[in-house]
Protein backbone atom coordinates (compact mmCIF):
# COMPACT_ATOMS: atom_id res chain seq x y z
CA UNK A 1 0.00 0.00 0.00
CA UNK A 2 1.32 3.38 -1.03
CA UNK A 3 1.00 6.59 0.98
CA UNK A 4 1.21 9.11 -1.87
CA UNK A 5 -2.19 10.26 -3.12
CA UNK A 6 -3.39 11.86 -6.33
CA UNK A 7 -6.10 14.49 -5.79
CA UNK A 8 -8.13 15.51 -8.82
CA UNK A 9 -10.72 18.20 -9.59
CA UNK A 10 -9.28 20.69 -7.08
CA UNK A 11 -10.77 24.18 -7.01
CA UNK A 12 -8.71 26.72 -9.00
CA UNK A 13 -8.57 28.94 -5.89
CA UNK A 14 -7.24 26.26 -3.50
CA UNK A 15 -3.69 26.56 -2.14
CA UNK A 16 -1.19 23.93 -1.01
CA UNK A 17 -2.03 24.99 2.57
CA UNK A 18 -5.79 24.43 1.98
CA UNK A 19 -5.03 20.93 0.71
CA UNK A 20 -2.75 20.18 3.68
CA UNK A 21 -5.39 21.36 6.16
CA UNK A 22 -8.07 19.19 4.51
CA UNK A 23 -5.95 16.03 4.73
CA UNK A 24 -4.59 16.64 8.25
CA UNK A 25 -7.87 15.38 9.74
CA UNK A 26 -6.81 11.90 8.56
CA UNK A 27 -3.26 11.95 9.92
CA UNK A 28 0.17 13.46 9.42
CA UNK A 29 0.65 15.16 6.05
CA UNK A 30 4.25 14.82 4.84
CA UNK A 31 3.64 17.06 1.81
CA UNK A 32 0.74 18.63 -0.08
CA UNK A 33 1.27 20.22 -3.47
CA UNK A 34 -1.07 21.52 -6.14
CA UNK A 35 0.44 21.22 -9.63
CA UNK A 36 0.83 24.62 -11.31
CA UNK A 37 1.10 25.36 -15.03
CA UNK A 38 4.71 26.41 -15.64
CA UNK A 39 3.74 29.07 -18.19
CA UNK A 40 0.70 30.73 -16.57
CA UNK A 41 1.49 29.84 -12.93
CA UNK A 42 -2.19 28.92 -12.46
CA UNK A 43 -3.45 25.72 -10.85
CA UNK A 44 -3.86 22.76 -13.18
CA UNK A 45 -6.69 21.46 -10.96
CA UNK A 46 -4.89 18.48 -9.46
CA UNK A 47 -2.21 17.76 -6.91
CA UNK A 48 -0.48 15.24 -4.69
CA UNK A 49 -0.61 14.61 -0.96
CA UNK A 50 1.81 12.34 0.86
CA UNK A 51 0.60 10.92 4.17
CA UNK A 52 2.94 9.58 6.87
CA UNK A 53 1.55 6.02 6.68
CA UNK A 54 -0.36 3.84 4.24
CA UNK A 55 -3.16 3.50 6.83
CA UNK A 56 -3.57 7.28 6.99
CA UNK A 57 -3.56 7.44 3.18
CA UNK A 58 -6.35 4.84 3.01
CA UNK A 59 -8.34 6.72 5.69
CA UNK A 60 -8.03 9.92 3.61
CA UNK A 61 -9.23 8.10 0.47
CA UNK A 62 -12.18 6.61 2.37
CA UNK A 63 -13.06 9.96 3.93
CA UNK A 64 -12.48 12.39 1.06
CA UNK A 65 -13.04 10.66 -2.30
CA UNK A 66 -16.04 12.25 -4.08
CA UNK A 67 -16.49 14.81 -1.27
CA UNK A 68 -16.98 18.56 -1.72
CA UNK A 69 -13.86 20.70 -1.22
CA UNK A 70 -14.14 24.43 -1.90
CA UNK A 71 -17.15 23.91 -4.18
CA UNK A 72 -15.82 21.00 -6.25
CA UNK A 73 -16.16 17.24 -5.87
CA UNK A 74 -12.60 15.97 -5.50
CA UNK A 75 -11.30 12.54 -6.42
CA UNK A 76 -8.69 10.95 -4.15
CA UNK A 77 -6.73 7.87 -5.24
CA UNK A 78 -3.34 6.23 -4.80
CA UNK A 79 -0.87 8.10 -7.01
CA UNK A 80 0.44 6.02 -9.91
CA UNK A 81 4.07 6.35 -10.99
CA UNK A 82 4.67 8.90 -13.74
CA UNK A 83 4.72 7.22 -17.13
CA UNK A 84 7.78 7.66 -19.32
The series of mean pLDDT values per 10 residues for the chain, 84 residues long, is: 91 97 98 97 97 97 98 96 75
Does the residue 3 lie in any domain?
A: no
List the Cα angle 34/28/56 in 5-degree steps: 95
Does the residue 30 lie in any domain?
A: yes
pLDDT at position 82: 75
Does the residue 1 lie in any domain?
A: no
DSSP 84: -
Domain that holds residue 28: 10-78
DSSP 44: E
Torsion sign, CA atoms 58, 63, 68, 70: negative
CA atoms within 13 A on the CB side of 65: 11
pLDDT at position 60: 98
Cβ atoms of 64 and 56 closer than 8 Å:
no
pTM of the model: 0.93
What's the CATH number where 61 sits? Answer: 3.30.70.330
Task: Work out the end-to-end distance of the chain between its first and last CA atoms, rounded to an integer number of angstroms.
Answer: 22
Amino acid sequence: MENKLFVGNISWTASDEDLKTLFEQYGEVVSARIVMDKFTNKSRGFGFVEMATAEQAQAAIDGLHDKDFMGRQISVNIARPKEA
